[in-house]
Amino acid sequence: MPGLEDLYREIILDHYRNPRNRGELETPPAHRAEGFNPLCGDEVVVYVDVDDDGVIQDIRIGGQGCSISQSSASMMSAAVKGKTVEEARALTRAFKAMMSIHENELGGDPDEPVEIPEGVTLGDLEALRGVVKFPVRIKCATLSWNTLSSGLDAVSV
Amino acid sequence: MTPSADHGLDVAAIKRDFPLLSRSCHDNPIVYLDSAATSQKPRVVLDSMTEYYETINANVHRGAYQIADLASRKMEAARANLADFIGAPDTREVVFTRNATESVNLVAFTWGRANLHDGDAIVLTELEHHANIVPWQMLAAERDIELRWIPVDAEGHLDLTDLERLLDGAKLLAFSAMSNVLGTLTPVRFLSDAAHAAGATVLVDASQYVPHLPTDVAALGCDFLVFTGHKMCGPTGVGVLWARAELLEAMPPFNGGGAMILKVTKEGFTTNEIPWKFEAGTPAIAEIIGLGAAVDYLRDIGMDAVRAHEVSLTAYALRTLTERHGDRITIHGPSEPASRGGVLSFEFGDIHPHDVSQVLDQKGVCVRAGHHCAKPLMAIMGVNATSRASLYLYNDESDVDQLSAALDDAADMFAI
């Protein structure tokens, strides 16, 4: 049985208590995207500013939610800032691969290594790996990433 | 264990009636505090459904053979039982639906479409569950209908200051008898009388009321009463719409199909008598029989005793949680136990309700976290989500103590 220490790692609580890149950006030039978790009422707002070279110059996070959704958003913002849109998309795929083990393969081994796309490092985000042992919370962890994806889709069009 | 002196319920014995309450969660005995979402089911309810399937399973109202007749009689006996339980003068006034939500939708679709027109107004309250909001918004979107809202005050009571103005010219007042978020009991008789004086019809959402208080539709004075089976020790999949017979007679049918007709030709159909006019297709026979058994179970214990137990336990919970956790806990809703049910929505420090319920779950304590399908109310309360512990006849002071102790774990984990 997974214990709470698998879920509430210290680094997660740190990002929850001291969220990075919290706030808003002027739109335009930044783009604003909203995400909701209709089950629990959590909401996240992602402001993303992408320059002409496709580099994420700045990102800000708004909204409110639980420790998992907020820390995931905070770590995400730190991880994608300064990256290209393509790098951010690769990181998103890697993060969702890490989150999807149990979502897609019920009964799978949570300790099984995740296939991370080559050249992508999850860094601090690895701390969220324990979330897959609490399937109800996977949607909390992925909310900001799905919101970022829709924001980047709008920018890239 | 001897029954408590103040209300006479032998909760230890009642707990033994509910098989699920003997299980563990994460190696701790379960502490089930989510009965406002769904109640647990006593053995007699489960047995009644198994017995139906094992001995008299046949479709109702159609066969001439013995078990078809037995199944039909058993189902209609459950209807009479439900009618008696809520004080309905006429068994034909009890319509079986899938749940309370379908009951509201039935009224909105049939009575609403026949009686509400452009320029009419519907009055709701800010306490409502989405089930008593969205069906009216759907109707209002089709027609030029105004939705008006009775506000709630800071303690979660309805603010009736402007009631007369809100009801002026309204065709319908639809409101909850007890809030699923705050536990607030609303003045049903007073509101029904005020609405009738203004010429409006009255629908009461009694989903949180019928399971917990003695119910008498004549005393409540409403025209429609909706509730669901699974919150009152019955199975999922069966709900009830009660309405005065003359209203049901005048309403157009809901779903079309078998059982709701008297005659069908290529040219058209004539509808069956009430209540079958509203029960197209094979009903949830086993579940209806199970709900009848739940009513027997609750009646044997006594709804006055259930209510007295819950008032006493709610008072204990309000006192215990406040004494142990002080300023770090905020419990929403009326402070006076007699004016509320055992639904305790709370905030715990700045810990998100998801995180609170996650930590409690490790101790086997089951509480709900979220908006409780009442987003307009949550917006007025200024919160996105709350944790909610809700009490029923099988809960006792030790359940409250377990909740209170598990909250210490949450405080430690999040350093509040």
pLDDT, one tens digit per residue, over A115-138 is 566 666 777 888 888 888 888 888
Chain A residues 10-29 within an 8 A CB cutoff of chain B: 13
Q: Which residues of A touch B371 (CB under 8 A)?
A: 40-41
pLDDT top residue among B221 and B375: B221
**B206 lies in the same domain as B286:** yes
Residue B282 lies inside a defined structural domain of this protein: yes
**B310 lies in the same domain as B268:** no
What chain A holds in terms of domains, given with CATH numbers, is: 4-156 (3.90.1010.10)
Q: CA–CA separation, B274 vs B271, rounded Å? A: 9
Instruction: Write down the pLDDT at residue A112.
Output: 53
Last residue of a domain, one of B270, B300, B330: B300
Gyration radius of chain B's alpha carbons: 22
Q: CA–CA separation, B317 vs B324, rounded Å? A: 11
Element (H, E) at B269: strand B269-271
Instruction: Using alpha carbons, list the distances in angstroms from residue B172 to A35, B221, B302.
Output: 36, 14, 33
Are A1 and B378 an interchain contact pair (Cβ–Cβ within 8 Å)? no
Instruction: Write down the pLDDT at residue A7.
Output: 87
**Residue A139: closest C-alpha in chain B:** B354
Residue B3 lies inside a defined structural domain of this protein: no
**B361 lies in the same domain as B236:** no
Are A39 and B384 an interchain contact pair (Cβ–Cβ within 8 Å)? no
* In the predicted structure, residue B6 carries a pLDDT above the cut 70: no
In this complex, is the C-beta atom of A68 within 8 Å of any C-beta atom belonging to chain B? yes
Instruction: Write down the pLDDT at residue A100.
Output: 73
> For A51-90, how does the pLDDT look when each residue is reduced to its tens digit (9 = 90+)?
999 999 999 999 988 999 999 999 999 999 999 999 899 8
In this complex, is the C-beta atom of A6 within 8 Å of any C-beta atom belonging to chain B? no
Largest CA distance in chain B: 73
Q: CA–CA separation, A78 vs A82, rounded Å? A: 9
Instruction: Write down the pLDDT at residue A127.
Output: 85
Tell me the H-state helices in B124-232.
Answer: 134-142, 163-167, 188-197, 217-220
User: Who contacts B230 (Cβ-Cβ below 8 Å, separation ≥6)?
Assistant: B38, B39, B99, B236, B237, B238
Instruction: Using alpha carbons, list the distances in angstroms from residue B67 to A55, B53, B56, B260, B281.
Output: 74, 11, 5, 22, 19
Neighbours of B70 (CB within 10 A): 17
Q: Is A112 exposed, middle or buried (0-12, 13-18, 19+ CB in 10 A)?
A: exposed
How close B385 comes to chain A (CA, Å)? Answer: 6
Last residue of a domain, one of B257, B283, B300: B300
Please give the average per-residue pLDDT across B223-229, as a whole number: 98
How close A40 comes to chain B (CA, Å)? Answer: 4
Last residue of a domain, one of B278, B300, B322: B300
Instruction: Write down the pLDDT at residue B150.
Output: 98
Q: CA–CA separation, B409 vs B407, rounded Å? A: 5
Instruction: Write down the pLDDT at residue A94.
Output: 85
Instruction: Write down the pLDDT at residue B352.
Output: 93
Q: Which residues of B touch A40 (CB under 8 A)?
A: 353-354, 369-371, 385
A107 band by pLDDT with thresholds 50, 70 and 90:
very low
Q: CA–CA separation, A96 vs A115, rounded Å? A: 11
How close A95 comes to chain B (CA, Å)? Answer: 22
> For A17-32, how does the pLDDT look when each residue is reduced to its tens digit (9 = 90+)?
999 999 999 988 899 9
Question: Is residue A21 within 8 Å of A74, Cβ to Cβ?
Answer: yes
Residue B222 lies inside a defined structural domain of this protein: yes
**B137 lies in the same domain as B150:** yes
B409 band by pLDDT with thresholds 50, 70 and 90:
very high
Instruction: Write down the pLDDT at residue A111.
Output: 52
Tell me how many domains chain B contains: 2
Instruction: Write down the pLDDT at residue B321.
Output: 97
Of B26, B352, B371, the CB nearest to A66: B352
A154 band by pLDDT with thresholds 50, 70 and 90:
confident
**B232 lies in the same domain as B381:** no
State the CATH number of the domain containing residue B378: 3.90.1150.10
Residue B55 lies inside a defined structural domain of this protein: yes
Element (H, E) at B108: none
b/e burial code for range A76-95 (CB count within 10 A of at least 16 → b):
bbbbbbebebebbbbbbebb
Residue B322 lies inside a defined structural domain of this protein: yes
In this complex, is the C-beta atom of A138 within 8 Å of any C-beta atom belonging to chain B? no
Nearest CA to B357 among B21, B129, B26, B19? B26
Of A1, A64, A67, the CB nearest to B355: A67
Residue B293 lies inside a defined structural domain of this protein: yes
> For B79-91, how does the pLDDT look when each residue is reduced to its tens digit (9 = 90+)?
999 999 999 999 9
Q: CA–CA separation, B73 vs B370, rounded Å? A: 42
Residue B54 lies inside a defined structural domain of this protein: yes
Are A1 and B354 an interchain contact pair (Cβ–Cβ within 8 Å)? no
B233 is catalytic: no
Instruction: Write down the pLDDT at residue A157.
Output: 58
* In the predicted structure, residue B309 carries a pLDDT above the cut 50: yes
**B285 lies in the same domain as B317:** no
State the CATH number of the domain containing residue B239: 3.40.640.10
**B106 lies in the same domain as B19:** no
Q: Which residues of A touch B385 (CB under 8 A)?
A: 40-42
Average pLDDT along chain B: 95
B298: phi then psi, degrees, rounded to nearest 5 = -65, -40
Instruction: Write down the pLDDT at residue B3.
Output: 43
**B238 lies in the same domain as B307:** no
Please give the average per-residue pLDDT across B278-297, as a whole number: 97
* Residue among B222, B233, B366, B373 flagged as catalytic: B373
How close B370 comes to chain A (CA, Å)? Answer: 4
How close B41 comes to chain A (CA, Å)? Answer: 25
Q: CA–CA separation, B1 vs B52, rounded Å? A: 34
Residue B290 lies inside a defined structural domain of this protein: yes
Are A7 and B358 an interchain contact pair (Cβ–Cβ within 8 Å)? yes
Quick one: DSSP state of residue B266?
Answer: S
Are B358 and A13 an interchain contact pair (Cβ–Cβ within 8 Å)? no
B365 band by pLDDT with thresholds 50, 70 and 90:
very high
> For B314-354, how does the pLDDT look when each residue is reduced to its tens digit (9 = 90+)?
999 999 999 999 999 999 999 999 999 999 999 999 999 99
Among A45, A67, A70, which would you mutate to test the B interface (most chain B Cβ atoms within 10 Å of its Cβ)? A67
ipTM: 0.82
Match 């739940």 to its residue by tokens. B294
Please give the average per-residue pLDDT across B116-135, as a whole number: 97
Instruction: Using alpha carbons, list the distances in angstroms from residue A103 to A57, A99, A133, B180.
Output: 33, 7, 10, 31
List strand residue ranges (DSSP E) for chain A, in order: 31-37, 42-50, 56-64
b/e burial code for range B234-253 (CB count within 10 A of at least 16 → b):
bbbbbbbbbbbeebbeebeb
Of A1, A13, A41, the CB nearest to B371: A41
Among A9, A44, A66, A70, which would you mutate to test the B interface (most chain B Cβ atoms within 10 Å of its Cβ)? A66
In this complex, is the C-beta atom of A107 within 8 Å of any C-beta atom belonging to chain B? no
Residue B366 exposure: Cα atoms within 13 Å on the Cβ side? 21
**Residue B357: closest C-alpha in chain A:** A66
**Residue A70: closest C-alpha in chain B:** B352
Instruction: Write down the pLDDT at residue A109.
Output: 52
User: Who contacts B131 (Cβ-Cβ below 8 Å, separation ≥6)?
Assistant: B100, B101, B104, B205, B207, B373
Instruction: Write down the pLDDT at residue B216.
Output: 98
Which residues of B make CB contacts under 8 Å with A?
26-27, 352-355, 358-359, 362, 369-371, 375, 378, 384-385, 413-414
Of B362, B385, B413, the CB nearest to A40: B385
Are A4 and B414 an interchain contact pair (Cβ–Cβ within 8 Å)? no
Element (H, E) at A110: none
Instruction: Write down the pLDDT at residue B398.
Output: 97
Instruction: Write down the pLDDT at residue B72.
Output: 95
> For B41-58, how does the pLDDT look when each residue is reduced to its tens digit (9 = 90+)?
999 999 999 999 999 999
**B165 lies in the same domain as B245:** yes
Domain interval for residue B387: 11-32+303-413
**Residue A4: closest C-alpha in chain B:** B359
Compute the C-alpha angle B151/B157/B159, nearest 5°: 40
**B21 lies in the same domain as B137:** no
How close B35 comes to chain A (CA, Å)? Answer: 18
**Residue A12: closest C-alpha in chain B:** B414
Q: CA–CA separation, B124 vs B139, rounded Å? A: 14
**B202 lies in the same domain as B164:** yes
A101 band by pLDDT with thresholds 50, 70 and 90:
very low
Tell me the H-state helices in B5-109.
Answer: 11-16, 43-51, 66-85, 100-107
Q: Which residues of B touch A68 (CB under 8 A)?
A: 354-355
Q: CA–CA separation, A64 vs A131, rounded Å? A: 19
**B329 lies in the same domain as B403:** yes
In this complex, is the C-beta atom of A5 within 8 Å of any C-beta atom belonging to chain B? no
Neighbours of B384 (CB within 10 A): 20
pLDDT top residue among B329 and A106: B329
* In the predicted structure, residue B1 carries a pLDDT above the cut 60: no
